Structure 1
Amino acid sequence: MTTDSPAAPNSPGGSATGSAAADKPEQATIPFAIPTVASEVPDAVAKVLGSGWITTGPQTGAFEQDFADHLGAAHVVAVASCTAALELCLRAMNLPPGSAVLTPSLTFCGAINAILHAGHRPVLVDIDEDTLVPSPHTVAAAAARHAPAAMITQNQGGYPVDVAALTEAAGLDRTRVIEDAAHGPGAARDGVPVGAHSFAACFSFYATKNMPIGEGGAVATSDQELADRIRSMRLHGMSKDSWRRYLPGGSWRYDVKNVGLKANMTDVQAVIGRAQLAALPGWQRERGELVARYDAALAGLPNLTLPQRDLDGVQHAWHLYQVRVPDRDAIIAELETAGVGTSVHFIPASHMTAYQSILGPEECAAVPVTDRVADELLSLPLYPGLSAAAQERVITAITEALRSRG
């Protein structure tokens, strides 16, 4: 579920902030999200700016290797966004035009757009109510409606799906499965980080993500051929990028063997990513501590369902702390009045006007659990640097809002 959207109040992927209560002007608003930036970033960026090379070059290559080492992946290709990563992977598969591609309906619109831009047709998959991600049962049901040529899985909020089980349920080979790991850094199954052994796992470094760069994405893959194709396709399909053409002994000549996109990462973004990656383990520990405090304070609160739980062998990335509440929109308004920013992840694809027109009413009606649960989802502030006092204000505000409903 990629969220490369611009920041917007109470919107998916946005850095939503409620306005401070009129009767409490002394209380600052608690934003839904604040990007965390490592202290090494300014100096690192200054060095790149002074290097004479700021687009895709040596720092991009170094970031790719750093991230591959972090994941334990064979190859990483850095790109402009997770949305671009998804589209590039689909294009690299060379599927017949108009192929059916399974995707959750509870996802960011960028994931749906990637399928459409690649020339294929989304097939909506329902979710499991407890995990908020598709199950083998819901995948099999969608595959029975439309035999899929490929599938995009997702890690909703940082919960790592069982990719092997979903692949089997879809009746697909692993080389036809793309993992939307936009919320994935920090997640693992059975001790294996998300993306470590994937055919294609797509990551996001958007401003609100666990490892924010501002914009940017990456594909982690175990397949050399796929990595080579995406590396070329991220720069229009050119056989050589500018850095390699202008190295000593290089040549200005290049070929275009596959039609690609303009979807490369710059060295400025990459050097930020290298510093952010070094800080990520500490930030993940902070997220875990915040989640533990939320759990302790909110457990047993009437009319509230806590987020997906860690199961045996499952390590949650905790990109989001998603609760389920009744009368969600009114509670958002009450929290905004109390000076607490929130967000919603996500408005289902089946609710979007453009997709309803493209997919038709029958397809959009095929995800009843998604439709019901989506109206209850609420994401609370969760980011490194969220103070204990600020978190206590969030807890107090949502507790009062729910208890007033009996």
Structure 2
Amino acid sequence: MSTSSGQTAVPFSLPSFAADVGDAVVKVLDSGWVTTGPQTAEFEQEFADFLGAAHVVAVASCTAAIELSLRALELPPGSPVLTPSLTFCGAINAILHAGHRPVLVDIDEDTLVPSPATVEEAAGRVKPAAMVVQNQGGFPVDVPALAEAAGLDRSRVVEDVAHGPGGARGGVPVGAESQAACFSFYATKNLPIGEGGAVATRDAEFADRLRALRLHGMSKDSWRRYLPGGSWSYDVKRLGLKANMTDVQAAIGRAQLRLLPEWQRRRAELAARYDEALRDLPGLVLPRRDLGEDVRHAWHLYQVRVPEREAVIADLEKAGVSTSVHFIPAHQLSVYRELLDERELGSLPATDRVADGLLSLPLYPRLSDAAQDRVIDALADALRSRG
């Protein structure tokens, strides 16, 4: 795609793929087994090793991962579950589909994630049974601090780390010590497969529950039933979903995982280039950088705050630069205003203040320095034209 000036447009995101992805997929197709099987098991172990996690259970999406994790917690039906309003609608839907009630939490304006103070405020409105926390843009949340503020044991916290592979806090990779850390492998994510997700957990029994729940609650998946010496017999002890990962996806994921450290290095480099080039632009608020030596941002997104966002987006589009917005807060969406009561919706002043100005700039390993410079120049022109 080219702009009117003949320049190639800068897309918001382009997935990267390892050179041997095609060979890995063909090998699975030739094997005669393409659904959940040996490749999925290998991917789960390799991703667990990358994270330093005890167990990983691969599933169909991060949304499914959140719902399955909530089901595996075995909360009473209709339990209140804290979650930020500034999140993807799928995370809110997962709470509702699991049979529970979202209680919306405000954010800290600098980090764009809940703080202990905002969590404590929400927990004062409705006593929670669990909490879903999100690593917005790749910022690694302080899970123990938020759990304490909510009055919850950490085993009742589901971490939405769709943006989080590669992040760390206290020297510990995101997901390494979690009860349930839910990852996404969507096409735009840090580890792109196309579709797919996973749950990392420290709890072996919890992992076993997830494995059953991702396949309708069946006690054995089809691969294990049809292994030599296996049996067709199975039991169903809990109601589950059809939410498994296929071996085709897992084979792609295994090839991709080897390149993830290099991709993360490039994301951090691009974020630093944005910091340097954009720090003096009028009216622009950059992502928080004073994170501390023990905190590593995953840089899934580079989110700025701009005045007159719609006009800025239009100017960038004219310059051939695509952007996105993450996210429209849940309390501003019609269905949740209808489904949730006043205590569940709450008052979310910080979320309302930042939401109208948030803008996500292109940030992905295939983004060249020259293309990033076009983004920087176009944004500078758009902002300076507004004084």
TM-score (norm 1): 0.94
User: Counterpart in 1 of 2:59?
Assistant: 79
| Local SS of the residue matching 1:271 | helix
User: Counterpart in 1 of 2:222?
Assistant: 242
What is the rounded CA distance, in whole Å, between the counterparts of 2:343 and 2:180 in structure 1?
A: 30
What is the rounded CA distance, in whole Å, between the counterparts of 2:170 and 2:285 in structure 1?
A: 26
| Local SS of the residue matching 1:212 | coil
Aligned pairs for 1:290-369 within 5 A? 290-312=270-292, 313-360=294-341, 363-364=344-345, 366-369=347-350
| Local SS of the residue matching 1:77 | strand
1:166 Cα deviation (Å)?
Answer: 0.1
Q: Deviations over 1:197-217 (max 9, x none)?
A: 111100000000000000000
Aligned 8 A contact 2:103 2:343 in 1: no
What is the rounded CA distance, in whole Å, between the counterparts of 1:369 and 1:92 in structure 2?
A: 32
Aligned 8 A contact 1:79 1:216 in 2: yes
Aligned 8 A contact 1:155 1:161 in 2: yes
Aligned 8 A contact 1:79 1:85 in 2: yes
| Equivalent AA in structure 2 for residue 165 of structure 1 | A
What is the rounded CA distance, in whole Å, between the counterparts of 2:343 and 2:221 in structure 1?
A: 45
1:97 Cα deviation (Å)?
Answer: 1.1
Aligned pairs for 1:32-181 within 5 A? 32-181=12-161
User: Counterpart in 2 of 1:6?
Assistant: none
Aligned 8 A contact 1:237 1:260 in 2: yes
User: Counterpart in 2 of 1:271?
Assistant: 251
Identity of paired residues, percent? 74
User: Counterpart in 1 of 2:359?
Assistant: 378
* RMSD between aligned residues: 1.0
The partner residue of 1:188 within 168, 182, 203 is: 168
User: Counterpart in 2 of 1:10?
Assistant: none
Stretches of structure 2 lacking an aligned partner (at least 5 in a row): none
| Local SS of the residue matching 1:323 | strand
Q: Deviations over 1:103-152 (max 9, x none)?
A: 00000000000000011110000000110000000000000000000000
| Equivalent AA in structure 2 for residue 352 of structure 1 | L
Q: Deviations over 1:304-340 (max 9, x none)?
A: 0111215111100000000000101110111011100
What is the rounded CA distance, in whole Å, between the counterparts of 1:208 and 1:328 in structure 2?
A: 22
Aligned 8 A contact 1:159 1:308 in 2: no
What is the rounded CA distance, in whole Å, between the counterparts of 2:50 and 2:343 in structure 1?
A: 43
| Local SS of the residue matching 2:266 | helix
Task: Name whichever of 314-323 and 291-300 sits farther off.
Answer: 291-300
Aligned 8 A contact 1:75 1:222 in 2: yes
What is the rounded CA distance, in whole Å, between the counterparts of 1:70 and 1:169 in structure 2?
A: 30
What is the rounded CA distance, in whole Å, between the counterparts of 2:165 and 2:191 in structure 1?
A: 7
What is the rounded CA distance, in whole Å, between the counterparts of 2:87 and 2:283 in structure 1?
A: 24
Aligned 8 A contact 2:162 2:182 in 1: yes
TM-score (norm 2): 0.98
Task: Name whichever of 90-99 and 219-228 sits farther off.
Answer: 90-99
What is the rounded CA distance, in whole Å, between the counterparts of 2:297 and 2:90 in structure 1?
A: 23
| Equivalent AA in structure 1 for residue 22 of structure 2 | P
1:175 Cα deviation (Å)?
Answer: 1.3
What is the rounded CA distance, in whole Å, between the counterparts of 1:367 and 1:359 in structure 2?
A: 14
Aligned 8 A contact 2:102 2:344 in 1: no
What is the rounded CA distance, in whole Å, between the counterparts of 2:262 and 2:384 in structure 1?
A: 35
| Equivalent AA in structure 2 for residue 309 of structure 1 | R
1:94 Cα deviation (Å)?
Answer: 1.3
1:362 Cα deviation (Å)?
Answer: 5.9
1:285 is the counterpart of 2:265: yes
Task: Name whichever of 285-294 and 98-107 sits farther off.
Answer: 285-294
User: Counterpart in 1 of 2:380?
Assistant: 399
1:20 Cα deviation (Å)?
Answer: 5.3
What is the rounded CA distance, in whole Å, between the counterparts of 1:49 and 1:78 in structure 2?
A: 19
What is the rounded CA distance, in whole Å, between the counterparts of 1:97 and 1:131 in structure 2?
A: 32
1:143–1:322 CA distance, 2 compared to 1 (3 A): same
Aligned pairs for 1:244-259 within 5 A? 244-259=224-239
Aligned 8 A contact 1:105 1:348 in 2: yes
Q: Deviations over 1:198-249 (max 9, x none)?
A: 1110000000000000000000000011000000100000011111010101
What is the rounded CA distance, in whole Å, between the counterparts of 1:52 and 1:178 in structure 2?
A: 36
1:93 Cα deviation (Å)?
Answer: 1.1
1:365 Cα deviation (Å)?
Answer: 5.0
What is the rounded CA distance, in whole Å, between the counterparts of 1:63 and 1:362 in structure 2?
A: 42
